[in-house]
Amino acid sequence: MERNVRILGAPTDYGANRRGVDMGPSAIRYAGLAGELESAGVSPTDAGDLAVPHHATRDADAGAANAKHVQEVEEVTTSLADAVSTALAEGTTPLALGGDHSIAIGSLVGSARDADIGVIWFDAHGDFNTPSTSPSGNVHGMPLAAALGVGDFAGVEWANAAGLTEENVAIVGLRSVDGAEAEAIRDSDVTVYTMSDIDERGVTEVTNDALDVATDGTDGVHVSLDLDWLDPREAPGVGTPVRGGVTYREAHAAMELVARSEAMRSFELVEVNPILDEHNETATLATELAASAFGKRIL
Ligand SMILES: NC(=[NH2+])NCCC[C@H](N)C(=O)O
Ligand SMILES: [Mn+2]
Ligand SMILES: [Mn+2]
């Protein structure tokens, strides 16, 4: 049976420091997402963009300095969670387009509302800060901790993903982590594959291990793809680039393994910032990687 994919735009930059990532959904659509998905053999339907609070008050209304704009993040992620869980209930695979990575709170809450899920977090960063540990106060550095109820996020209903536990979470490609964040990751039961692991063992072995972690005893896997996972030479259009990321081929290889596992129940592409991009190449790359994740093959 053909897989139906529902595209959900989440044009928000409230979780990030640098403006512009709210234009990510437009850039990714313009780069040809629907056509790429069709070439992967799935049927996309574009549900349009979620409503995001107006920006007029953004700077004056930053909220708490240790969790900037958290009110707006709650609003956006709550509506994304509903859209994701509805998409799943209606038999489609949700594909959320960020927007900054704070939207993952919505994807995870929605995907884990009526199921036990695993997560693969392809990212340069751990996104495991909490308001107490974050050096920046930017919520896009916190979504994984938020969904898992770590630290300050314990019992925070709008942020905690019901059917998700640390044992089924794998971070792949980590190379930038804050001090207290690293401690929190080490204290957790999350599995981490750093760039050093990829250097030593190769991206395919690491991704297969991550898939084992995320599928073990779960109903399916949420794949969160932060474009800064790739090296900035391949993906310059991101707000927090970090040298030493995976290559174009490595990224495709990982996505092809995701497709082969047939375990993906929800997906998101985040942190594409068209203002910082070069001729929309990062958005284009995002569409190509999405196609690989949904089963596009070279031959
Ligand atoms: N999704 C991202 N790009 N996150 C970047 C986080 C950077 C840094 N660790 C912070 O918490 O501020
Ligand atoms: Mn990142
Ligand atoms: Mn991230």
In one-letter notation, the amino acid at residue 120 is I
Ligand 1 pocket check for 222: Cβ under 6 Å: no
Tens-place pLDDT, residues 32-47: 999 999 999 999 999 9
Q: How would residue 1 be classed by pLDDT, with cut points 50, 70 and 90?
A: low
How many domains does the chain divide into? 1
Exposed (0-12), middle (13-18) or buried (19+): which is 18, by Cβ within 10 Å?
A: middle
81 domain-assigned:
yes
The owner of tokens 């998700």 is: 164
| Selection from 242, 244, 294, 249 nearest residue 269 by Cα | 294
Quote the pLDDT of residue 30: 98
Give the model's pLDDT for residue 47: 98
Q: Does residue 22 lie within any of the structural domains?
A: yes
Provide ipTM, 2 decimals: 0.98
| pLDDT higher than threshold 70 for residue 210 | yes
The rounded Å distance from CA 172 to ligand 2 centre is 11
Q: Is 222 among the annotated ligand-binding positions?
A: no
pLDDT digits (tens, 9 = 90+) for 137-182: 999 999 999 999 999 999 999 999 999 999 999 999 999 999 999 9
Query: 5 pLDDT exceeds 80?
Result: yes
- Closest residue by Cα to atom 9, ligand 1, is 141
Query: Of ligand 1's atoms, which has the minimum distance to the CA of residue 129?
Result: 11
Which residue is closest in CA terms to ligand 1's atom 6?
141
Whether residue 58 lies inside any domain: the answer is yes
pLDDT per residue as tens digits for the range 48-95: 999 999 876 566 446 688 999 999 999 999 999 999 999 999 999 999
178 is in an annotated binding site: no
CATH number (domain holding residue 133) = 3.40.800.10
Helix ranges, the chain (H)? 24-30, 33-39, 70-89, 104-111, 143-148, 179-187, 195-201, 203-215, 248-261, 281-293
CA distance 133 to 38: 42
Q: Which two tokens stand for residue 297?
A: 């093959």
Mutational test site, ligand 1, from 13, 139, 240, max ligand atoms within 8 Å of CB = 240
Flag whether 127 is marked binding: yes
State both tokens at 171. 């971070």
Q: Are 189 and 166 in contact (CB under 8 A)?
A: yes
Number of residues assigned to the chain: 299
Read off the pLDDT of each residue in 223-242 and give the average, rounded to a whole number: 98
What residue numbers bound the domain in which 190 lies? 4-293
Which pLDDT belongs to residue 60? Answer: 46
> What ligand is nearest to the CA atom of residue 182?
1
Neighbours of 89 (CB within 10 A): 11
Residue 298 included in any domain: no
Instruction: Please tell me whether the peptide bond between 99 and the residue prior to it is cis, using omega within 30 degrees of 0.
Output: yes
Q: What is the pLDDT of residues 244-258, one digit of tens each?
A: 999 999 999 999 999
